[in-house]
């Protein structure tokens, strides 16, 4: 049996039946639905999605997308499962999102406020310097790797910056959970994972559906800054933005602030673009 999960609506197999998507099969999937039919958790036989397991899965074999209410919109290795694992594991995506929703108001300025976001901030080199240079702007850096965020946070503490916060979260989840009244005045995406294989392109962040979700939180005239050393990703990203109803590329717009990131220092060359949120 084939199951289909779209955002917010789920048509899924019954308990014990298998679930097929993206060329993979998730054995013994037992989705738990809420009253709207949204998958809030999936119980299956498999290893917990710890970093180690994910890395092994990535090297060794096939990946399986976690079944959640947001299937197809949740990315990153921590969302992927090793298929050959033993103990049963329950992943409560909704409870993680609820936790994020409750954490964010405490670390962000009170609403209404417009903030600067860096997605995939890594060790925080760029955002720490940016926040230092713009004390009037609140800067939020997110990443899915804890160690990198700890190093980033240290930079902010050492510089005594109160307008800077780093948070461990995934980009699509952050956008879903941003408190009402918090908008984005600028979004930086610097050297994002390029996902070079065609079958992984769906994991790229510069894609139409994510850009639409992002645009809903960006103020009109707010900017999206994209920089990468992966020329194919850059070209595809530029085309996606050119065709996107919410964004307008501004070829003459200057890059607003220069501070080399870890990946920038390693890149022999790179390309940048600035796109501005159109007025709705």
Ligand X SMILES: C[S@@+](CC[C@H](N)C(=O)[O-])C[C@H]1O[C@@H](n2cnc3c(N)ncnc32)[C@H](O)[C@@H]1O
Residue in 49, 133, 43 with CA at minimum distance from that of residue 88? 43
Nearer to ligand X, 138 or 210 (CB): 210
Nearer to ligand X, 29 or 144 (CB): 144
Residue 26 within binding range of ligand X, rule CB under 6 A = no
Residue 192 within binding range of ligand X, rule CB under 6 A = yes
Nearer to ligand X, 12 or 205 (CB): 205
Chain Cα centroid distance, residue 91:
18
Residue 252 is classified by DSSP as: T
Angle at 7 between CA 90 and CA 93, to 5 degrees: 25
Tokens of 103: 């954490």
Catalytic: which of 34, 136, 176, 193? 193
* C-alpha to C-alpha distance for 28 and 5, rounded to whole angstroms: 17
Q: Where are the beta strands (DSSP E) in 64-143?
A: 64-65, 80-81, 88-92, 113-119, 139-143
- Which range, of 2-10, 119-127, 230-238, 244-252, touches ligand X by CB under 6 A? 119-127
Q: Is 147 a catalytic residue?
A: no
Nearer to ligand X, 69 or 122 (CB): 122
- Which range, of 32-40, 60-68, 152-160, 256-264, touches ligand X by CB under 6 A? 256-264
Give the nearest distance from C-beta 186 to ligand X in angstroms: 15
Residue 119 within binding range of ligand X, rule CB under 6 A = yes
CA distances from 49 to 45, 89, 208 (A): 12, 9, 27
Where along the sequence are the contacts to ligand X (CB under 6 A)?
75-76, 119-122, 142-145, 148, 170-171, 190-193, 261-264
- Could you give the residue numbers annotated as active site? 193
């Amino acid at each position: 049996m084939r199951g289909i999960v779209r955002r917010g609506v789920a048509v899924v197999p019954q308990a014990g039946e298998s679930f097929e998507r993206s060329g993979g099969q998730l054995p013994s999937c037992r989705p738990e639905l809420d009253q709207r039919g949204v998958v809030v958790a999936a119980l299956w036989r498999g290893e917990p999605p710890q970093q180690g397991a994910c890395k092994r899965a990535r090297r060794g074999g096939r990946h399986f997308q976690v079944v959640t209410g947001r299937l197809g919109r949740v990315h990153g290795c921590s969302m992927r499962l090793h298929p050959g694992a033993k103990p049963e594991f329950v992943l409560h995506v909704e409870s993680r999102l609820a936790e994020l929703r409750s954490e964010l108001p405490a670390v962000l300025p009170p609403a209404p406020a417009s903030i600067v976001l860096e997605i995939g901030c890594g060790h925080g080199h760029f955002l720490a310097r940016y926040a230092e240079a713009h004390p009037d702007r609140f800067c939020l850096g997110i990443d899915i790797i804890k160690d990198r965020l700890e190093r980033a946070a240290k930079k902010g503490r050492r510089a005594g910056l109160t307008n800077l916060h780093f948070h461990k979260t995934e980009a699509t989840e952050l956008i879903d959970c941003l408190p009402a009244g918090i908008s984005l005045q600028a979004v930086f995406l610097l050297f994002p994972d390029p996902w070079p294989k065609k079958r992984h392109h769906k994991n790229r962040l510069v894609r139409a559906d994510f850009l639409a979700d992002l645009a809903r939180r960006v103020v009109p005239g707010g900017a999206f800054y994209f920089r990468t050393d992966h020329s194919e990703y850059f070209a595809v990203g530029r085309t996606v933005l050119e065709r996107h109803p919410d964004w307008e590329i501004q070829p003459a717009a200057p890059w607003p602030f220069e501070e080399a990131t870890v990946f920038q220092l390693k890149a022999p060359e790179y390309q940048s673009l600035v796109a501005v949120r159109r007025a709705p």
